[in-house]
Amino acid sequence: MKHLFAAGVLALATLISPAQAQEESTATTAPEITEMALGPEDASVTVMEYASFTCPHCANFHKGPFKQLKADYIDTGKVRFVYRDVYFDRFGLWASMVARCGGEEKFFGIADVLYEQQREWTQGDPATIADNLRRIGKVAGIAPDAVETCLNDRDKAQALVGWYQENAEAHEVNSTPTLIIDGQKYSNMPYDELKAIIDEKLAAG
């Protein structure tokens, strides 16, 4: 389980885009951050996951329990699933910016690729990792110019980091993956345990 850095360690200077923009943003309004979610808004149970694209345990969750959760509960309309970003490093932030570049309709498809190929795209120096993410964006059908714009959007990077810090503090998230099920916090767990919790909440609801 990967643990969060202490508050303040994630300095924005180390998290900005690959272009490392030299000038501070003059924007007066932070970009709006879209909540990425699957399943009906009025589902009986809401499962929120705090995860990082560079966290190996999160990759294992998405390659296993999440697929079962999606088939059994999300696709059947019983669960609303909300994905919340956690940033341990600039690479996780860059990955999130690429995943979000295609909008809501492409986000979870790109997220699947990022987790499936985590061991591959996270290898190399920062420039190589940025190129790996560009390729993932291109394969997902996002125009190269659009991917470049997303990766180098300093205002969005700062807004995402601020959003993450606010959310993580509100839910007292200190490791990933962390699950918030109908407002109650849980650590990573096998699917059978997750299923039992959801079934209990569905029965009570």
pLDDT in tens, 100-149: 999 999 999 999 999 999 999 999 999 999 999 999 999 999 999 999 99
The CATH number given to whatever domain includes residue 163 is: 3.40.30.10
Query: Residue with structure tokens 């909540």?
Result: 35
The single residue listed with the structure tokens 């029965």 is: 203
Q: Is 20 domain-assigned?
A: no
- Looking at the domain assignment, is residue 4 inside a domain? no
Residue 61 has pLDDT above 70, yes or no: yes
198 occurs within a structural domain? no
Whether 28 is in a domain gets the answer no
Place 18 in a pLDDT band, splitting at 50, 70 and 90.
Answer: low
More confident site: 178 or 27: 178
**146: in domain:** yes
Instruction: State how many domains the chain has.
Output: 1
Q: Is residue 24 in some structural domain?
A: no
Taking the C-alpha atoms of residue 97 and residue 17, their distance in angstroms, rounded to an integer, is 9
Residue 9 has pLDDT above 70, yes or no: no
Whether 26 maps to a domain, the answer reads: no
Residue 8 pLDDT class (50, 70, 90 cuts): very low
CA distance 1 to 55: 8
Kindly state whether residue 140 falls inside one of the protein's structural domains: yes
pLDDT in tens, 160-175: 999 999 999 999 998 9
Flag whether pLDDT at 31 surpasses 50. yes
- Domain with 176, as residue range(s), is 35-192
Task: Say how many C-beta atoms besides its own lie within 10 A of residue 115's C-beta.
Answer: 20
> What is the pLDDT, as a whole number, of residue 14?
52
**Mean pLDDT computed over every residue of the chain:** 88
Compute the distance between CA of residue 108 and CA of residue 96 in angstroms, rounded to an integer.
11
Between 125 and 28, residue with greater pLDDT: 125
